[in-house]
Amino acid sequence: MILTFGSFLALLAAGAPMVFVLGVAGALTLAITGQTPLVVVAQRLYNGLDSFPLLAIPFFVLAGLIMEQGGIARAMVALATALVGWVRGSLFMVATVTATGLSAISGSGSADTAAISSILLPEMRKRGYDIDYAAAVVASAGSLGPIIPPSIIMVVLAMISDLSVGAMFLGGIIPGLIGAAGMLVGHWLYARREPERYADAEPFSAPRLWTAFLGALPALSMPIIVAGGIICGVVTPTEAAVLAVVVGILVGLFAYKELKLSQLPQMMLRTAGISSAVMIIIGTASIFSWLIAVQDVPRMISAWFQANIGSPWAFLLSVNVLLLIVGMFLESISALLILMPVLMPIAIAMGIDPLHFGVVVAINLSIGLITPPYGICLFVASTVAKRSVMQISRVIWIPLIPLILMLLLSTYVPAVVLWLPRTLL
């Protein structure tokens, strides 16, 4: 165990890519101990990827790219503008509402952030908005992507923990909407501090809203088909991801006419690159997770928790703190694959519903997308805004507050997570 974790921490501190940290730590342990043939490395790598639900990942990634370039994101922004553009600090509200809608399409926080940033940040700069806070708004809005279904994080989490992907998706809906509502309130309070600067709201217009709604109907068909198909049990999450791609191509080609067939090969190449990076991490993490299990680490940690932290509430609090810290430094999929095989058995032993615990973990790792220094959504927003991550980090705490409150509510009021799955499934 010391060799496994020692090599892991040494490689991590040396700045090695996560795929090498996980794979080399596992292979090195097997090679030095000599108790298991090295062929096990290849076997565990293959077994970690031999899962049908993982096929959803490349299709959700491709759906996000189509959404970004096919006019779908632009139509959603127009609808959100007509819906909440009358509120002070209107573009803050538009970014959050748009991200909530796009989250039901892509399953990726970084994809949502990229789509919204490219459309709204230039306009925010033009209107004289504080660009650091504007970038923080867009990044935090993108962090809703892995909470509101579909979610790549939830697909991987369900696979690791042997949970229903559909139930996980349903469990994330109410927390995601609560988080979005909390951020809207926070943005409104922020805009009130400088009423002259954010006095760009336009009067509400019902005809304008109706026109925007009609224009967004093709775009809205994507989340309806994806989420509705999964909830009604018509399609599996993997099939829903394929449907999202097909519908997105049709909408982009024929409804909005912004997508060209010549763009698809490049999108597929980008999808292959992004998906391959995720998949190889999943494969190498399965080696590391197997080693942890073989060395009986989950049982030892479980015994320690039960001896020192007997209360499920205290355990959940400690897990939240741990995951929020880990999310600052580790990519979410890596953190998930390393920690879930250890934490889930402890949660079950303490009588915590595994579905509830899984959604709480997903929320924690989604918040990690916007926590410095390595939050991926922060990097995406900072690139488009042409500001440093540290400049944006000075104000990211404002939208972080409602997300933390939503996390605590979801943690200690299990019905927030469990009511919808238990009602519909």
- Tens place of pLDDT for every residue, the chain, 425 residues? 677 767 777 877 777 777 777 777 777 777 777 667 777 777 777 777 777 777 888 888 888 888 888 888 889 888 998 988 888 888 899 999 998 888 887 777 887 888 888 888 888 888 888 899 999 999 999 899 889 888 888 888 988 888 888 899 899 999 999 999 999 999 999 988 887 787 766 788 899 999 999 999 998 888 888 777 877 778 887 888 898 899 999 999 999 988 898 999 999 998 888 888 778 877 887 777 777 777 777 777 777 777 777 788 999 999 999 898 888 877 788 788 888 888 898 899 888 999 999 999 999 999 988 888 778 888 888 888 888 888 898 899 999 999 999 999 999 999 999 999 998 87
| Integer Cα distance of 145 and 63 in angstroms | 13
122: nearest Cα among 138, 109, 107: 138
Which residue matches tokens 């959404």? 67
| Integer Cα distance of 71 and 248 in angstroms | 10
In angstroms, how far is the first alpha carbon of the chain from the final one? 41
Per-residue pLDDT at 34: 67
107: nearest Cα among 222, 216, 273: 222
Q: Are 148 and 176 in contact (CB under 8 A)?
A: yes
The answer to whether residue 174 sits within a structural domain is yes
| Integer Cα distance of 158 and 154 in angstroms | 6
The CA-atom distances, in angstroms, between 360 and each of 112, 172, 375, 413 are: 21, 9, 18, 11
Which residue matches tokens 């049709």? 250
The answer to whether residue 289 sits within a structural domain is no
The answer to whether residue 270 sits within a structural domain is yes
The answer to whether residue 355 sits within a structural domain is yes
The answer to whether residue 22 sits within a structural domain is no
Per-residue pLDDT at 114: 83
Per-residue pLDDT at 133: 93
Secondary structure (DSSP) of 18-81:
HHHHHHHHHHHHHHHH-SS-THHHHHHHHHHH--GGGGHHHHHHHHHHHHHHSSHHHHHHHHHH
Per-residue pLDDT at 25: 78
184: nearest Cα among 144, 151, 222, 154: 144
260 alpha carbon, distance to own chain's centre: 28
Angle in degrees, 0-180, between the axes of helices 18-33 and 39-49, rounded to the nearest 10? 140
- Amino acid identity of residue 178, one-letter, is I
Q: Which residues contact 422 (CB under 8 A, 6 or more apart)?
A: none
The answer to whether residue 3 sits within a structural domain is no
Show the domain range for 139. Answer: 53-283+298-424
The answer to whether residue 121 sits within a structural domain is yes
| Integer Cα distance of 402 and 396 in angstroms | 11
| Integer Cα distance of 251 and 273 in angstroms | 24
Q: Are 221 and 207 in contact (CB under 8 A)?
A: no
pTM above 0.75, yes or no: yes
Exposed/middle/buried for residue 307 (C-beta within 10 Å: 0-12, 13-18, 19+):
exposed
Q: Are 122 and 229 in contact (CB under 8 A)?
A: no
- Counted domains in the chain: 1
The CA-atom distances, in angstroms, between 227 and each of 163, 181, 268, 355 are: 18, 20, 23, 18
Secondary structure (DSSP) of 307-331:
HH---HHHHHHHHHHHHHHHHTTS-
18: nearest Cα among 214, 240, 285, 253: 285
The answer to whether residue 47 sits within a structural domain is no
Per-residue pLDDT at 1: 61
| Integer Cα distance of 112 and 252 in angstroms | 17
